């Protein structure tokens, strides 16, 4: 069952990517402005470099002098997010199974398959938003010197990773 879920997620993702590629295909006047991806930050993704994963914060809690109140607040946000993620993951699994079922039909009802793919994409979006909400809340709980120290701590780790070619 787990292998099938992975396969179904891959198929759903491929459908979503194909739909996105079709929407952002160049027109006679070039790609639509909203189709252009944001420029990544020099040492990583723009979003990733602007937030602080919980693992990073807790692995350096002593170096950044994370206090008890901050630690409790971050853990509370983490618990809340885990509940949201569990719910969203369950929806994603159900929607992915529905998509796979629609795709197994012969012939495939295109409207049904596309509607199912849109529900899968929406569920994936919910997962990403829940994770981003957590990252924003964690960042907002940190003081400026703590954020600066985390930035300094992760810079060497990024510099030591060879660039993909």
pLDDT (tens digit, 0 to 9) for every residue of the chain, 165 residues total?
Answer: 444 444 444 444 444 433 433 333 443 333 333 333 334 344 458 899 999 999 999 999 999 999 999 999 999 999 999 999 999 999 999 999 999 999 999 999 999 999 999 999 999 999 999 999 999 999 999 999 999 999 999 886 555 555 555
Nearest to 93 by CA among 128, 127, 133: 127
pLDDT score of 155? 81
* C-alpha closest to that of 124 among 96, 103, 97: 96
Q: Quick one: pLDDT at residue 45?
A: 84
What is the rounded CA–CA span in Å between residue 97 and residue 102?
Answer: 9
Give the predicted TM-score (pTM) of the model: 0.65
Centroid of chain to Cα 24: 20
Tokens describing residue 137: 């809340």
> 């420029």: which residue's tokens?
39
49-145 CATH, one of 1.10.287, 2.20.28, 1.10.20, 1.20.120: 1.20.120
Beta bridge partners of 145: none
Q: For residue 40, what pLDDT is reported?
A: 39
Task: Give the 3-state secondary structure of residue 63.
Answer: coil
- Report the distance separating Cα 54 and Cα 60, nearest Å: 10
Helix 110-141 to helix 68-104 angle (10° resolution) is 170
pLDDT for residue 165: 54
* Res 61: pLDDT: 95
């Amino acid at each position: 069952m787990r292998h099938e879920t992975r396969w179904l997620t891959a198929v759903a993702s491929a459908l979503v990517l194909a739909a996105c590629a079709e929407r952002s295909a160049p027109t006679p006047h070039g790609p639509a402005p909203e189709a252009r991806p944001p420029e990544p930050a020099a040492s990583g993704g723009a979003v990733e470099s602007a937030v602080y994963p919980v693992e990073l914060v807790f692995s350096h809690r002593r170096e950044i002098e994370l206090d008890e109140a901050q630690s409790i607040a971050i853990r509370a946000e983490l618990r809340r997010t885990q509940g949201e993620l569990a719910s969203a993951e369950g929806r994603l699994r159900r929607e992915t199974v529905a998509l796979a079922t629609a795709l197994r039909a012969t012939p495939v009802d295109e409207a049904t398959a596309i509607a199912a793919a849109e529900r899968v994409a929406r569920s994936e979006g919910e997962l990403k938003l829940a994770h981003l909400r957590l990252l924003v809340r964690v960042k907002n709980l940190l003081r400026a010197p703590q954020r600066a120290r985390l930035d300094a701590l992760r810079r060497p780790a990024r510099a030591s990773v060879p660039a993909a070619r």
